[in-house]
Amino acid sequence: MSLLSSLRVALAALLVHKGRSTLTSLGIVIGIGAVIAMVSAGDGARTLLEDRLDSVGKNLILVRPGSRTGQGMVADFSSLTSGDAEALRRLVGTLVLAVAETQVTQRPVTTSTAHILTSVVGCTHDLQEVRNWDCSTGRFVSQDDVKKQAAVCVLGSTVREKLFPQRPNPVGQAVRVEHLELRVVGVLAPKGRSPTGADQDDQIMVPLTTLQRKLLGEERLSVIVVKVPSEDLLDRAKEEIQRVLRQRHHSKAGEEDFDVSSIHEMAELAVVVTGTLQLLIAIIASISLVVGGIGIMNIMLVSVTERTREIGIRMAVGATGADVLTQFLIEAVVLSLAGGLIGITLGLVVAVALAHLAGWPIVVSPAAVLLACGVSGAVGVFFGYYPAWKASRLDPIDALRHE
């Protein structure tokens, strides 16, 4: 028999028992579907994370107050000062491009028509360069604003939509943060969400000195943001920042009252978590494929028993053992590939649904689809070979006597 004839006979044999064939390939469908769905979901999540990292800045180092305790908690939130930021500015030109100190607090913000609770960020003019933050209208906080403790602010795009929904350009308008009235001098261009999912546009920027002396009455810092020329210099810059701050704080390694980490490290943790989940799903899917393969072997053995007389007739009219083995092996492979194709379709549907619900981009890896096809075919060959070999070893005379 030619390969085409064997394929036609295999399809005809499988279609005789449609329900049995469908149930047999169910394990393959579930296994392949799970792999495609989770690989696509993981790639989509990583793409979204990369986009959010780009919006924040991959080459940023965050210096935060407080030491890590044995329980992973942070203690002493008042250890960073503006003097620390000035000391780090002396590194500009070597391992550092820019340094910006900030203080963050949650405060109610009101206008004559709106009232919201948002983040109020006290910053210096350097933050615009550090965060690559453009203004869609107006200007950013200036160095002169910081010196004069000016009562001005720059709105994030989300805050602008909430406070001035009918006014795209609110420059010159007044907003009130608790008892302090501020004049809007600019609106930030949209940044989107951070890697942690926080809305970067839901905040108001004010001069650091204005926040510290006119609103909070304290001069502690929430974070010092350091911009490094490239990701390759992150580790060296972190070591130098830690050295400088240890000298200022008179602390030893492991006993610091500050924490230095990079945005890149936060992203790597998210990637590790995603990869672990994908590996777990892959293991579960592999178990499903093995179960599906055993099901295929079982049904093919039943098929060989049911068609023993047919096999004898074929051998009696000239079919060789190789012809019989090829026929039954093709049946197992077709059964497995059909389950694989259905599983790929199901996996793509689930991947699209997950992307829609989670809000991340749809990413389908052609390599994953090709690998799924290859795996499903390999399962058919591996688990179908023994029944096919058993059929090819039947004695024609004994087969013809079989009822």
> How does pLDDT run across 41-65, given as a tens digit for each residue?
777 777 777 776 666 667 888 888 8
The angle that helices 263-306 and 26-56 make with each other, rounded to 10 degrees, is 170
Co-location of 274 and 390 in the same domain: yes
Asked if residue 350 is part of any domain, the answer here is: yes
Asked if residue 249 is part of any domain, the answer here is: no
What is the C-alpha separation between 113 and 117, in angstroms, rounded?
A: 14
Asked if residue 68 is part of any domain, the answer here is: no
**Strand-pair category, 135-138 with 152-155:** unpaired
pLDDT of residue 73: 45
Asked if residue 230 is part of any domain, the answer here is: no
Domain final residue pick, 191, 220, 249 = 220
pLDDT-derived band at 75 (thresholds 50, 70, 90) equals low
Does 76 have pLDDT greater than 50? yes
pLDDT of residue 183: 94
The helix, strand and coil proportions of the chain, stated in percent and rounded to the nearest 5, come to: 55, 20, 25
What the block records as the tokens of 159 is 């805050």
- pTM of the predicted model, to two decimals? 0.62
Question: Residue 372 carries which side chain, given as an amino acid letter?
Answer: A
User: How high is the mean pLDDT of the chain?
Assistant: 82
What domain range is 122 assigned to? 102-220
How many structural domains comprise the chain?
2
What is the C-alpha separation between 163 and 271, in angstroms, rounded?
A: 36
Asked if residue 95 is part of any domain, the answer here is: no
Backbone φ and ψ for 114, nearest 5 degrees, come out as: -140, 155
> Who has greater pLDDT, 388 or 285?
388
